[in-house]
Amino acid sequence: MFKIIMIKYGELTTKKANRKFFIETLTRNIERVLENYSVKITKDRVRMYIEFNERDLNGVLASLKKVFGLHGIVVATRVNNNIDDIKMCVLDSIKNLNANTFKVETKRADKSFPIQSMEFNNVIGGLILKNTNLKVDVHNPDLTVHIEIRPEGTFVYTNEIRGIGGYPVGIQGKGLLMLSGGIDSPVAGYLALKRGVDLECLYFDSPPHTSQEAKNKVIDLANIINEYSGHIKVNVVPFTKIQEEIYKNVPDSYIITIMRRMMYRIATKVCQKNKLKVIINGESIGQVASQTLTSMIAINSVTNMPVIRPVACMDKLEIIDIAKQINTYETSILPYEDCCTIFLPKHPVINPEVEKCIKYEKSFDFESLIDEAINNIEVIKDLNTKSNDEFSELL
């Protein structure tokens, strides 16, 4: 008789064709978050089991709560498929619990076990009635005693922790998250990760108009969402020259539209170069002038890549709720400037025309500026270390 964590895959068990790949990816992701613990992981098509040191239980559970694709986490007691052992285990499992009513739910996946589920519910129910003061309530019990009789053993538990759901990160390949220091884009990244899309980030940096603090903030945000991935790196694009050229050559009202077309062009090239399948950003319909549907047409028309906007249809308050849940909010609201805000015109166009964008873009050689920017991307891989600049200041 020993404690074991049992993982329920939930949604992904329904994806029959890909099940093996799903489970392999999920296992790798779980191994990653538990790499600092001594655990033993075994799995089959419907369940995964994690043996652990009892002193690590809280840490292991906290880590598992950040793994997408994991729908139920159960700390069970495992016994052999033997009626007396199961009875002893049930009485032991409920002895210190605070409850007045109970029901028993048996799942007999091992058909060689001699007693059927319904009948076994009665056997165990009778045992509990005889040995405790608990009363039966099948509709709304304080306590449900789960007994799963599987070929590999019997698992007794009274509590199931909800996992965060979604799909294992990586099963959809990788996308490119346009990550600014704001509230929306980290949430967009989190939601993409939840659907199994792993990420690289792209940050447009405009020194000296934007500061090292603004860049560090973006790296901090990448660090927070990297807890759900472990593979995220940040591509920092030197965007100053492009922004200055736009500012010099483009009428005020079109500055933001053209700037965002440049961002999409760069994002597209980075996707091609790094074999990324989709662009993801934090645009939300109507939030600002560049996020009207007409603006999206003008901006989106420079790319053939699919663009996913996970927060497009959310209210700002809904986005903020998620940002708070995932711990990005407090960092996002730190007051550092973004390249989108430094050259903000008084009256940005709300309904930009593609023809005008093309005309204004002819006034400077943006293609070579884009190539130059891409060639000078700084890649930040090891997200948990401070950036070099900051480090040298400390020396």
Dihedral (CA of 194, 195, 196, 197) sign: negative
Alpha-carbon distance 366 to 262, whole Å?
8
Alpha-carbon distance 388 to 380, whole Å?
10
Indicate whether 169 belongs to the interface with ligand ATP (CB under 6 A).
no
Among 202, 271, 326, 377, binds ligand ATP (CB under 6 A): 202
Q: Residue number with the shortest CB distance to Mg ion?
A: 182
Q: Which is nearer to ligand ATP, 93 or 185 (CB)?
A: 185
Single out the residue of 151, 147, 134 nearest to residue 90, CA to CA.
147
**Token digits of residue 339:** 């390249």
Q: How many residues bind Mg ion (CB under 5 A)?
A: 3
Indicate whether 189 belongs to the interface with Mg ion (CB under 5 A).
no
What, of ligand ATP, Mg ion, none, does residue 254 touch, CB below 5 to 8 Å by kind? none
- The 8 Å CB, 24+ separation contacts for 213-218 are 213/334, 213/336, 214/181, 214/336, 214/337, 214/338, 215/387, 216/387, 216/390, 217/181, 217/331, 217/332, 217/334, 217/336, 218/179, 218/180, 218/181
Indicate whether 182 belongs to the interface with Mg ion (CB under 5 A).
yes
Min dist. Cβ of residue 236 to ligand ATP (A) = 9
Give the CA-trace dihedral at 374, 376, 380, 381, to 10 degrees. Answer: 70
Alpha-carbon distance 204 to 111, whole Å?
60
CA gyration radius, the chain: 27
Indicate whether 204 belongs to the interface with ligand ATP (CB under 6 A).
yes
Q: How many residues bind ligand ATP (CB under 6 A)?
A: 19
Among 180, 226, 257, 268, binds ligand ATP (CB under 6 A): 180
Residue type, 16: K
Indicate whether 184 belongs to the interface with ligand ATP (CB under 6 A).
yes
Touching ligand ATP, residues 290-329 (CB under 6 A): 290
Q: Which residue has the tokens 């599987």?
A: 150
Among 26, 48, 183, 232, binds ligand ATP (CB under 6 A): 183
Alpha-carbon distance 31 to 25, whole Å?
10
Indicate whether 39 belongs to the interface with ligand ATP (CB under 6 A).
no
Indicate whether 350 belongs to the interface with ligand ATP (CB under 6 A).
no
Min dist. Cβ of residue 184 to ligand ATP (A) = 3
Alpha-carbon distance 250 to 305, whole Å?
26
**Token digits of residue 266:** 């760069």
Among 7, 50, 199, 340, binds ligand ATP (CB under 6 A): 340
Q: Which is nearer to ligand ATP, 283 or 361 (CB)?
A: 283
Min dist. Cβ of residue 338 to Mg ion (A) = 5
Among 148, 200, 283, 338, binds Mg ion (CB under 5 A): 338
What, of Mg ion, ligand ATP, none, does residue 178 touch, CB below 5 to 8 Å by kind? ligand ATP
Kindly write out the interface string for residues 213-252 of this chain, putting x where it contacts ligand ATP by CB under 6 A and - elsewhere: ----------------------------------------
Applying CB under 5 A, the residues found at the interface with Mg ion are: 180, 182, 338
